[in-house]
Chains A and B, each alone.
Chain A
């Protein structure tokens, strides 16, 4: 890993941590405040790509594990991983990876802004929602003894908010691509 990649991942991890400290951003048109940390996971993928995005998230989880209150609401410590929703946290790593992988594949500089934004949106939906929930729901179903169907139904309440986050992540991915592109650095 180059020093630049190391610093990029660390700075992005710092952004995810900072997002947890900020007051939630209200979107105005809907009453759901954006708690920005799961948005940060999608952003890590669309901005940094698969490998660096996943490592940025991994660094955040490492900070949680070693006892720093870096999750929103000042949560932290190993005890977080004993919660029935810990599967979602672990799923963050894979969510960021898949979002990044799809972004690398689907988006390139020759495309129009709309195509880029829609591609980023698809990447964030699949990585940040499908993959993330696959991990979260599986863990919830197994560890809490709920069974898949109930864990699935219980988690659906959070999907609308996550779709909005995917939209925001897509717009951001596009904005960063125009302002400071990092993605094609896969070569």
Chain B
């Protein structure tokens, strides 16, 4: 699985992940307070310029945001039917600016940086006794490790169905897929405990 990170050394790349996430939050709050069209258009422009500097070729940069922009456009169209155009334009500008800035953060922050940041954020929650911050990285790693395995298993089950002339139905495919995958959990859990990967054990 290819991350959406883009190699580079732009100003955004050099900024600490925490600073980026905090400014994104602040930016979002400001956007949602403001109703001024001029201000919001300015925000879109600034965010677009910023997104332009992260080092993505322009085609790829637009392609990435197309599905999100489509949803924004559909809602705007719907909005335009019922509301005056000024009122319809406000959410479009707001969401577009936010989308561009969020995409810039995503493109300039590596997965490792993000996981470190999330772990650091969860650290204070450890005192509640319900969360182990290090488990977050472990869980994310497990997901990435098992996705290709599950896709292969799905294809194997599908082929087994075809070979026996069975109809490929969602329930007959997904049930064995889920059962087989979850049965792995015991082995994986035993392996994790045997290697003492979690400091706190079960």
B99 near A10 with CB under 8 A, answer no
> Could you list 20 further interchain pairs (A-B, Cβ under 8 angstroms) beyond the known A28-B167, A59-B139?
A3-B189, A6-B138, A11-B181, A13-B139, A15-B150, A43-B178, A47-B182, A69-B1, A76-B106, A77-B107, A78-B24, A79-B68, A143-B32, A143-B94, A145-B83, A145-B91, A146-B75, A146-B78, A179-B175, A180-B179
B99 near A3 with CB under 8 A, answer no
B75 near A15 with CB under 8 A, answer no
A65: chain B residues within 8 A (beta carbon): 114
* A21 CA / B148 CA spacing, docked (Å): 10
Interchain residue pairs with CB less than 8 A apart (14): A4-B189, A7-B188, A10-B143, A15-B177, A36-B170, A36-B174, A67-B3, A79-B68, A143-B95, A144-B76, A145-B88, A172-B174, A179-B179, A180-B178
A156: chain B residues within 8 A (beta carbon): none
Q: Give a binary string over A3-20; 1 marks a CB under 8 Å from any B CB, 0 the rest.
A: 110111111111101100
Q: Give a binary string over B127-164; 1 marks a CB under 8 Å from any A CB, 0 the rest.
A: 00010100110111011111101110010000000000
Which among B68, B140, B202 has the greatest number of chain A C-beta atoms within 10 A?
B68
- Of all chain B residues, the one with the shortest Cβ separation from A18 is B150
Q: Is residue A138 contacting chain B, with contact meaning CB distance below 8 A?
A: no
Q: Which of B90, B111, B175 contacts A176 (CB 8 A)?
A: B175
B178 near A172 with CB under 8 A, answer yes
A10 near B146 with CB under 8 A, answer yes
A63 near B140 with CB under 8 A, answer yes
| Contact flag A143-B91 (CB < 8 Å), given A172-B175, A176-B179 | yes
Q: Is residue A62 contacting chain B, with contact meaning CB distance below 8 A?
A: yes
Q: Give a binary string over A39-78; 1 marks a CB under 8 Å from any B CB, 0 the rest.
A: 1000100010000000000011011011111100101111
A67 near B4 with CB under 8 A, answer yes
B72: chain A residues within 8 A (beta carbon): 83-84
| Contact flag A67-B170 (CB < 8 Å), given A3-B193, A10-B146, A76-B4 | no
Tell me how far the C-beta of B74 lies from the nearest C-beta in chain A, rounded to whole angstroms.
8
Q: Which of A15, A62, A66, A81 contacts B102 (CB 8 A)?
A: A81
A146: chain B residues within 8 A (beta carbon): 75, 78-79, 82
| Contact flag A15-B181 (CB < 8 Å), given A6-B139, A7-B142 | yes
B67 near A47 with CB under 8 A, answer no
